[in-house]
Amino acid sequence: MSEQADTLVAVHGLVDGLYLQEMAAKIRRGLAGQAERGYATGAKTYGYNTVPVPDPSGRVDTNGYPTLLGKKLVINENEARHVRRIFQWYDEGVGVYPVRDSVWGSLHRADGVEWHAAAAGDAMGLPARATQDGIRTMTAQEAVGTTIARGATV
């Protein structure tokens, strides 16, 4: 490869990297704006339903569907009681694995998708701790003094 080709590859790599950074910043700004307006910004969340909010101007997209301003989260009471129970167990110091074992296979979303109990630690915002036997999730007592940014909202 020539010296000129090497330079072009380096320049294109730089431009592509800058483009990706700019796109990521625009996506973060757009999601932050949606969150500030009270709209959902991610995938379906167990314990909630999403309700589309159509644009009041009556605009439609290219397929003839109403243009949406966003989607509002509405508590799904049937699922929320399970979420509340899981957070109650967490507050009582029950570890993630006993919680997972208690709810395994018993929770299903309203749309029929099975709840993945392996996500219990993430859902509860628990940090992991390395042990001789591998990595495990901390109990509530062990997590005291660590940064746990998430909280129950249902």
Residue 33 has pLDDT above 80, yes or no: yes
pTM of the predicted protein model: 0.54
| Nearest of 88, 86, 77, 70 to residue 48 by alpha carbon | 77
Residue 135 has pLDDT above 70, yes or no: no
Band of the pLDDT at 46, cuts 50, 70, 90? confident
pLDDT tens for each residue of 99-122: 777 776 565 555 665 555 455 555
Q: DSSP 3-state helix, strand, coil percentages of the chain (rounded to 5)? A: 45, 20, 40
If phi > 0 it is left, if psi is from -120 to 50 it is alpha, else beta; for residue 64 that is: left
| Nearest of 52, 49, 54, 96 to residue 74 by alpha carbon | 49
